[in-house]
Amino acid sequence: MTESGLKAVFLEERPMLMRLLVARLGSREEAEDALQDMWIKLDQLVAKPVAQPAAYLYRMAANLAADRRISAARGNARDTAWLDSQPVADDLPDIERTLIARERLAQIEAALAAMPERMASAFRMFRIDEVPQKHISEQLGISVSGVEKLLQRAYRQIHDAGSTRSEDFALQHRLAGEED
């Protein structure tokens, strides 16, 4: 699969990529923007073979959507500061708008710390070191489905740790407000 081949697949898959982005971003306009970004990024990639080009493109779109969602969430997370801003924060609206939810992160880290060792290490390997599940199963000496169950529970504990999370960060999904 060459670079132009990847672009050809992009054009073929465009309607489905669009649906994915609309579903994730809740806005046609933003989905169009994200598709445009994708096209540009495809330009920056060098021609090398891709085994599953369509799946690759979906992943790329999903990652772009995730990045856009976190930027949007940060734009709304006003009082949860990641930056230890000095008193200058008042005159830095730009920076204030991009503050990340430190509070939420603290909740997540607490959830990680509270996990059984095995679960936490499976999660860290998977999410942070990007180790495939098969390798995790070898390292922990359990089956692949066992790894998947561990991961599922780990994600769930992280999710539930936020049951009292600030509404600032857990944004209303824009689908609700943007029906047309």
Q: What DSSP designation does 175 have? A: T
Token duo for residue 113: 């710390």
CB closer to other proteins out of 8 and 83: 83
Binding residues for other proteins, total number by CB under 8 A: 79
Least distance CB 75 / other proteins (angstroms): 10
Distances (CA, A) of 43 to 30, 58, 62, 65, 154: 20, 17, 18, 19, 37
Contact track, other proteins, 11-50, x by CB under 8 A: --x--x--xx--xx-x-----------x--x--xxx-xxx
Token duo for residue 132: 């495939």
Residue list 48-107, contact with other proteins (CB under 8 A): 48-52, 54-56, 58-60, 62-67, 69-71, 73-74, 82-86, 88-89, 92, 94-95, 98, 100-101, 104-105
CB closer to other proteins out of 46 and 141: 46
Assess contact for 42 and 13: CB atoms under 8 A. no
Token duo for residue 70: 């976190």
